[in-house]
Structure 1
């Protein structure tokens, strides 16, 4: 499988503040309960947003993450017959926080005409 140039994290305002304050984040309840950070490839971001974030009241950010900075803790896992999603477990699946220095760029998402938009979508 081709490795992506970047993977993406859909982040809430609260999580993005945690990143900036602590230099890392432990993610949301889903991440903590599954022991990994749920990430997306760029072509998966819209469907992930529509499936899981339509009713989120907080501001949302899309974080562009450099997979090279995540090392062997980044694993691509099949979720169905067609989709394989990147998950960050940390080395040896130790569930480390996602480090802020792996985030290359962040942009606020806006919801317009039934789609989420930001500078990453061209």
Structure 2
């Protein structure tokens, strides 16, 4: 199963430079890296990134993040993936820019790469 992280361009650049990251400011404040499933991603984008451009979508294989990945109750009682260690470049299966339209963010086909 693939899970996803959304970064702003400077956050993605920092991760590429350092080879890993503890995440965005919200991740640092909460003590874990927030991730989303494909089904959760549209609401994550509209709730936390509304109106923002220059976003990068990263895909990871959930099983590769174990045992540091926990599924915890969050928004609306749904289980969200939270990573309790740095997110590393070798965790990333693929990355790409998130397009924006008049209707908001366009995630397109989330099945790029090995579905893992």
- Per the TM alignment, residue 113 of structure 1 is displaced from its structure 2 partner at its CA by 2.8
Residue 66 of structure 1: aligned partner: 61
Residue 78 of structure 1: aligned partner: 73
Contact 2:50 2:104 in 1 (8 A): no
Matched residues in 2 for 1:85 and 1:41: separation?
A: 7
Residue 94 of structure 1: aligned partner: none
Runs of 4+ off more than 6 Å? none
Q: Deviations over 1:44-85 (max 9, x none)?
A: 1111100010143x5101100122221111011111554111
CA RMSD in angstroms, aligned pairs only: 1.7
**Normalized against structure 2, the TM-score is what?**
0.86
Q: Which runs of 5+ in 1 are unaligned?
A: 91-96
Q: Which runs of 5+ in 2 are unaligned?
A: 112-116
Matched residues in 2 for 1:16 and 1:46: separation?
A: 20
How many residues align? The count is 111
